[in-house]
């Protein structure tokens, strides 16, 4: 057996082991789409919260029940659009890798992602309806980042780095609550676009 053949066999074995332990079909394009959707949602949320207030006093937001319902509608719509894009592009990527979209690795990934997301979502709803509006945006970043970190062991390692960045931005937002929406746009919008482009360049999808 030649050295080249030996190295090729090792590479194949490594690839097989990676496929059996990690869900590697996440698509960079889905990250880009999620980022664009998040930026659009942040713009709509900004218009909802600050449209009828003095721009120079934008750090102080007063919202009525209609504004809260509108924000929830924006959040749900952006979530559904991002999920739809994620499923579409990830399914296409899974076909390229000859990997099932819903296998044991994908189930572990979703389960570990869902626990922090659900806990954070419930907490943010409680805070929202109790009037602690300023903490909602940064806490969504914190819990989303924790969810990515928790799920990163079942997928691409870059997810962990993205999660850490989301947590850091969320904690900064908790300190500077008046800039929560801007930091939310950076975390969910800009970071997702950067991550998606990087994944597209590295993995080709």
Task: Answer whether residue 20 is part of any domain.
Answer: no
Calculate the alpha carbon distances from 43 to 87, 135, 185, 203 in Å.
24, 18, 9, 31
Rounded-to-integer distance, Cα 107 and Cα 198, Å? 25
Quick check: is 9 in a domain? no
What is the count of structural domains for the chain? 1
Segments forming the whole domain that contains residue 140: 27-203
- The low-confidence residues of the chain, meaning pLDDT below 70, are 1-26, 50-64, 97, 99, 101-102, 203-205
Is residue 7 domain-resident? Answer: no
Q: Give the pLDDT confidence of 121-151 residue by residue, as tens digits.
A: 999 889 888 878 888 889 999 999 999 999 8
**pTM exceeding the 0.95 threshold for the entire prediction:** no
Is 40 part of a structural domain of the chain? yes
Does 34 map to a domain? yes
> Does a structural domain hold residue 8?
no
Residue 53: predicted pLDDT: 58
Question: Which residue, chain included where needed, has tokens 């942040």?
Answer: 42
């Amino acid at each position: 057996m030649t050295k080249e053949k030996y190295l090729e066999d090792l590479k194949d074995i490594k690839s097989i082991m990676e496929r059996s332990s990690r869900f590697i079909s996440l698509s960079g394009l889905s990250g880009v789409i999620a980022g664009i959707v998040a930026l659009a949602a942040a713009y709509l949320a900004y218009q909802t919260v600050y449209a009828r207030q003095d721009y120079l006093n934008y750090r102080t937001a007063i919202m009525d029940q209609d504004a809260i319902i509108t924000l929830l509608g924006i959040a749900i719509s952006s979530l559904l659009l991002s999920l739809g894009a994620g499923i579409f592009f990830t399914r296409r990527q899974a076909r390229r890798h000859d990997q099932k979209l819903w296998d044991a690795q994908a189930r572990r990934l979703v389960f570990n992602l869902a626990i922090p997301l659900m806990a954070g979502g419930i907490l943010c709803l409680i805070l929202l309806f109790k009037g602690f509006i300023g903490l909602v945006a940064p806490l969504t970043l914190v819990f989303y980042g924790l969810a990515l970190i928790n799920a990163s062991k079942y997928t691409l390692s870059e997810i962990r780095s993205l999660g850490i960045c989301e947590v850091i931005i969320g904690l900064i937002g908790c300190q500077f609550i008046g800039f929560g929406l801007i930091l939310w746009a950076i975390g969910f919008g800009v970071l997702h676009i950067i991550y998606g482009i990087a994944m597209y360049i590295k993995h080709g999808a």
